[in-house]
């Protein structure tokens, strides 16, 4: 990944405790983004651990969002993705859960991406995943010059 600098790698880890133990052994070049999944309030601590990792972009994947997350720290978080669960036994997402996360992102000036509503027969993703009547596909800002000029 360090040498493939024309690409951005998005790594998603649930085991942030393990990541905290090994992160100093890794070379966190600008093109390696790190994220963690948080599906319920009891896993919100993962965001705090993620904030200690020296990646260019740190992101949260709140998917599948299975309940409200009221105590979410966005300190040093650059991007938040929210989505419902899909599959034959998918659990329901309440839009007000996603809306509260979107509002928190707006308050903290963090890009918010609403990926999908989920459900088995109608995932309603992409242009059909509406929140407050609109699509939320915001992305973190990256330094294009850094991407274009980095040579290893």
Note the pLDDT tens digit of each residue in 26-83.
999 999 999 999 999 999 999 999 999 999 999 999 999 999 999 999 999 999 999 9
Residue 14 is given by DSSP the state S
> Contact, 114 vs 52, CB < 8 A?
no
Q: What is the pLDDT of residue 152?
A: 36
Instruction: Judge whether 64 and 84 are in contact, CB under 8 Å.
Output: yes
How far out from the chain centre does Cα 27 lie?
A: 21
The CA radius of gyration of the chain, in Å to the nearest whole number, is: 16
Instruction: Report, as an integer, the average pLDDT of 137-142.
Output: 90
| Structural domain 9-149, CATH architecture | 3-Layer(aba) Sandwich (3.40)
Q: Is the pLDDT of residue 127 over 90?
A: no
What's the pLDDT at 149? Answer: 52
- Residue 2, pLDDT > 50, answer yes
Q: Where are the domains of the chain?
A: 9-149
- For position 110, what pLDDT does the model report? 97
- Number of residues that this document lists for the chain: 152
Q: Which residues contact 77 (CB under 8 A, 6 or more apart)?
A: 47, 50, 51, 58, 59, 60, 108, 110
Checking phi first, is residue 119 left (phi over 0); if not, alpha (psi -120 to 50) or beta?
left
Given this model, what pLDDT does residue 124 score?
Answer: 64
Q: Lowest-confidence range among 3-12, 31-40, 109-118, 143-152?
A: 143-152
What pTM was estimated for this model as a whole?
A: 0.89
Q: Is 92 helix (H, G, I), strand (E, B) or coil?
A: coil
């Amino acid at each position: 990944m360090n040498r493939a600098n024309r690409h951005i790698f998005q790594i998603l880890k649930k085991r942030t405790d393990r990541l905290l133990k090994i992160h100093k052994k890794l070379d966190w070049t600008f093109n390696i983004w790190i994220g963690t999944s948080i599906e319920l309030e009891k896993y919100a601590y993962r965001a705090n651990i993620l904030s200690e990792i020296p990646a260019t972009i740190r992101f949260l994947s709140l998917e599948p969002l299975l309940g409200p997350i009221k105590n979410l720290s966005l300190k040093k978080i650059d991007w938040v993705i929210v989505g419902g669960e899909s599959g034959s036994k998918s659990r329901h997402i309440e839009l007000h859960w996603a809306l509260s996360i979107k509002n928190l992102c707006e308050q903290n000036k963090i890009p918010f991406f609403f990926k999908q509503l989920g459900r088995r027969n109608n995932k309603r993703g992409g242009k059909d995943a509406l929140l407050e009547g609109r699509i939320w596909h915001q992305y973190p800002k990256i330094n294009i010059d850094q991407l274009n000029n980095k040579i290893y």
